[in-house]
Amino acid sequence: MKNKNKSRVGAQAVGRKIRVSVTKMRRIIDRIRNCSYEEALVSPEFMPYKACYLVSQLILSAAANASTNFGWNKSDLLIGEAWVDNSTYLRRFRPRAQGRGYPIKKPTCKVTIKPSSKFVEK
C-alpha cells in the first residue's frame, strides 16, 4: 500500500511558514519552473533577493527526495511543478496614540516544488 501512495504523490519538497510574501516568492519560483535541475539550482544564486537561498535549499531537498525514494538520477531531473500558496500571517501590534494598538500583519507563504524525470512516461 505504501508504494502506491508514494508513486501517486511523487517526489516533492514543501517549505511551510516561510517568512516572505507570496508575490516576492513567486517572482523567483516563476523563473525556475520547467528548468533542469542544474539550471534551477544555479539561477537563484544570481538573483538579488533574500528568498533565493530558501528556494535553492528546497530544490536540493526535492532532488534528494527524488533520488532517495525513486532512484532518479539528479542530472535527469526537471522542476516539473512549483507553486506558492498563502499561509498564516504573523500578527504583531504597534503602539499608537492614546493607548491603542495598530495591527501589523507579516505575511508567510508555503512553497511546493515537485521534480520530474526527463525519462519517466506520464
User: pLDDT by residue for the chain (122 residues), tens digit each?
Assistant: 455 555 566 899 999 999 999 999 999 999 999 999 999 999 999 999 999 999 999 999 999 999 999 999 999 999 999 999 999 999 999 999 999 999 999 999 999 999 998 776 55
d(CA 1, CA 46): 43
Which SS3 state, helix, strand or coil, does residue 88 take?
strand
CA 72 to chain centre: 20
pLDDT at 1: 44
Region of 116 (left: φ > 0; alpha: ψ -120 to 50; beta: rest) is beta
What pLDDT shows up at residue 117? Answer: 85
pLDDT of residue 120: 61
Question: Which residue's C-alpha cell is 511551510?
Answer: 16
Q: What is residue 10's predicted lDDT score, i.e. its pLDDT?
A: 81
Give the predicted TM-score (pTM) of the model: 0.85
pLDDT score, position 61? 96
Report the SS3 class of residue 69.
helix
E-only strand ranges, the chain: 13-18, 77-95, 101-117
